[in-house]
């Protein structure tokens, strides 16, 4: 077995610190010895199913210690695990099952009805025993031996994670065992994680950022404390009661955390244990920075930028957060970032170009989608005007991210827009992100906003802004503020208020601009 796989980490932790608490799940605690024993039992049972090597097995359930065991058991076999958000609709789950050819699903009792609804014909395994003729973890623990060995190569496919694109149905990205261990190693390195850390398992285990919570915990022999972010009061109890020291979040979670009555937010002294807060997957606003600084006085705040096609590209050193709050930072260790213009040349400072990711942490590609893979995964030859390739093999793969960014004079990177999101008005190319940034910075009453375009015969495209806020704000008030900071051609002509903005998937916490665009078109 390769040392560069998660299985090797579990074995090592079970030997090095068997009595250390590995997982906190409410009142339930599992030591590394407990975890290893249960993982072996489930892995042994799954291997005895005698499915072909590389078979896709889904995990479709609520967050729990059993879900952790299921993931680690699958990563101990030659099967590929496919996390499925429990919040997805039946047709979306069915799409994932059919797209990857899933042969088995591990679930909890509450999801059996949903699986029946989509008429899944493969094998089903549940955590809890039920009246149905379905094998459960409870039965496996009673009957299966914990003697299990495996021989996994780090180059083998480990997981397929699905995220939403513009089509409305999620696309799968293939991740190897080496990818998972590398991402745990590099994040642990630049975050300076420790064995004494308690990492909050707040993010869902369906994408790499959420999965990395678990793998970083095992890599450092630390503790993972599970929690589902529902109410701010519950969330703060989790931080205090579980003694959380490392808190991974997404920007919408930071907003939700401080939406409740300020009197219900604990005194900063009670949150002093938190020494690291991380955020990825969206823009950090000045209010978020101020709230984190006020309530988490001991914490370093890391803003990070990742890609669908690679684990992570950049992070901003916490010391730079107030100096350049809008920056996505500099490359993480082991990564080389180039900003390329249309001529294939490296962009000058402040010149906007496409972010090209070279080096480590690049995933394998899109599952059964040659077109998507070829669009993003390119030969190193695209950098032939930038780097000296003499003697190099041009079969090295880099990621053409589709992200428009620029560097400042000190080399710090700034996100501008996704390539596909750019708006063209009267000959001007406009980034929705730039408008959204001004809204976040200058209109604090607005909780969230989405900027996009619809077709307009006179100006090519018409800029639309939809926002959520506690109350509707006068359009004139919004326009007046925006005109202080933006040229006239960047001012939205349509501004709409909604109590809540739709998300592509509740677990991904990304605003669904396609739904909003459809809504605007229906209003015209």
Topology at the third CATH level for domain 6-228? Rossmann fold (3.40.50)
Mean pLDDT of the chain, nearest integer? 91
- Res. 281: pLDDT tops 90: no
**Strand, coil or helix: what is 435?**
helix
Write down the pLDDT at residue 288: 87
The string of pLDDT tens digits covering residues 338-389 is 999 999 999 999 999 999 999 999 999 999 999 999 999 999 999 999 998 8
Q: Which residue has the higher pLDDT, 253 or 216?
A: 216
* CA atoms of 512 and 496, how far apart (whole Å): 15
The b-or-e profile of 272-293 (16+ CB within 10 A means b, else e) is ebbbbbbbbbbbbbeebbebbe
Write down the pLDDT at residue 458: 61
Write down the pLDDT at residue 477: 96
Residue with tokens 């699958």: 74
Q: What is the mean pLDDT of residues 409-429?
A: 80
The b-or-e profile of 401-410 (16+ CB within 10 A means b, else e) is bbbbbbbeee
- Where in the chain is CATH 3.40.50.12780? 6-228
Residue 299 buriedness (CB in 10 A; 0-12 / 13-18 / 19+): buried
* CA atoms of 222 and 214, how far apart (whole Å): 9
Beta-bridge partners for 171:
163
Residue with tokens 């984190």: 292
Q: What is the mean pLDDT of residues 470-491?
A: 91
**Strand, coil or helix: what is 287?**
helix
Beta-bridge partners for 300:
276
Topology at the third CATH level for domain 422-523? GMP Synthetase; Chain A, domain 3 (3.30.300)
CA proximity to 3, closest of 181, 189, 208, 222: 181
Write down the pLDDT at residue 506: 58
Residue 324 buriedness (CB in 10 A; 0-12 / 13-18 / 19+): middle
Distance of CA 266 to the CA centre of its chain: 27
Tell me the two tokens of residue 439. 């809204």
Write down the pLDDT at residue 167: 47
* CA atoms of 263 and 260, how far apart (whole Å): 8
The CATH number of the domain covering residues in 334-418: 2.30.38.10
- Where in the chain is CATH 3.30.300.30? 422-523
The string of pLDDT tens digits covering residues 15-66 is 999 999 999 999 999 999 999 999 999 999 999 998 999 999 999 999 999 9
Asked which of 230-239, 241-250, 254-263 is least confident by mean pLDDT, the reply is 254-263
The string of pLDDT tens digits covering residues 160-214 is 999 865 445 678 999 999 999 999 999 999 999 999 999 999 999 998 999 999 9
Write down the pLDDT at residue 166: 44
Output the pTM of the full model.
0.84
The string of pLDDT tens digits covering residues 96-153 is 999 999 999 999 988 998 898 888 999 999 999 887 889 999 999 999 888 888 889 8
**Strand, coil or helix: what is 293?**
helix
DSSP string, 104-170: EEEE-GGGHHHHHHTT--SEEEESS--SSS-EEHHHHHHH--S-------TTSEEEEEEEE-TTSSE
């Amino acid at each position: 077995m390769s040392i560069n796989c998660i299985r090797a980490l579990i074995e090592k932790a079970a030997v090095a610190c068997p009595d250390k608490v590995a997982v906190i799940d409410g009142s339930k605690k599992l030591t590394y010895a407990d975890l290893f024993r249960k993982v072996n039992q489930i892995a042994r049972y799954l291997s005895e199913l005698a499915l072909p090597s590389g078979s896709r097995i889904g995990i479709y359930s609520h967050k729990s210690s059993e879900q952790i065991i299921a993931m680690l058991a699958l990563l101990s076999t030659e099967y590929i695990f496919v996390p499925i958000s429990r919040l997805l609709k039946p047709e979306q789950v069915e799409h994932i099952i059919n797209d990857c050819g899933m042969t088995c699903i591990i679930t909890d009792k509450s999801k059996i009805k949903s699986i029946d609804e989509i008429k899944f014909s493969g094998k089903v395994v549940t955590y809890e025993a039920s009246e149905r003729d379905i094998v459960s973890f409870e039965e496996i623990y009673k009957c299966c031996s914990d003697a299990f060995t495996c021989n996994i190569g780090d180059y083998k496919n480990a997981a397929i994670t699905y995220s939403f694109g513009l089509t409305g149905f999620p696309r799968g990205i293939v991740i190897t065992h080496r990818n998972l261990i590398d991402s745990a190693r590099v994040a642990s390195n630049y975050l300076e994680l420790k064995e004494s850390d308690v990492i909050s398992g707040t993010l869902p285990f369906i994408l790499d950022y959420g999965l990395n919570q678990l793998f970083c915990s095992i890599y450092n022999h630390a503790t993972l404390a599970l929690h589902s972010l529902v109410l701010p009061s519950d969330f703060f109890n989790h931080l205090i009661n579980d003694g959380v020291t490392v808190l991974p979040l997404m920007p919408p979670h930071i907003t939700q955390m401080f939406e409740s009555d300020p009197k219900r937010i604990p005194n900063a002294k009670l949150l002093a244990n938190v020494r690291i807060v991380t955020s990825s997957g969206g823009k950090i606003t000045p209010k978020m920075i101020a709230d984190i600084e006020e309530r988490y006085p001991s914490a370093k705040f890391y803003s990070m930028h990742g890609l669908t096609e690679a684990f992570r590209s950049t992070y901003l050193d916490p010391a730079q957060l107030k100096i350049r709050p809008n920056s996505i930072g500099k490359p993480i260790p082991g990564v080389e970032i180039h900003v390329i213009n249309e001529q294939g040349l490296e962009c000058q400072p402040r010149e906007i170009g496409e972010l090209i990711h070279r080096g480590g942490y690049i995933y394998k590609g899109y599952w059964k989608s040659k077109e998507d893979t070829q669009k993003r995964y390119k030969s190193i030859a695209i950098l032939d005007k930038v780097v000296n390739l003499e003697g190099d093999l041009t079969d090295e793969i880099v990621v053409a991210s589709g992200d428009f960014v620029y560097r400042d004079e000190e080399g710090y990177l700034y996100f501008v827009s996704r390539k596909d999101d750019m708006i063209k008005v009267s000959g001007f190319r406009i980034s929705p992100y730039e408008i959204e940034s001004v809204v976040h910075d200058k209109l604090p009453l607005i909780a969230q906003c989405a900027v996009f375009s619809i077709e307009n015969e006179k100006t090519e495209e018409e800029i639309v802004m939809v926002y959520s806020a506690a109350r509707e704000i006068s359009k004139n008030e919004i326009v007046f503020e925006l005109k202080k900071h933006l040229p006239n051609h960047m001012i939205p002509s349509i501004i709409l208020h909604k109590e809540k903005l739709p998300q592509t998937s509740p677990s991904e916490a990304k605003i669904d601009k396609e739904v909003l665009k459809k809504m605007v078109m229906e209003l015209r």
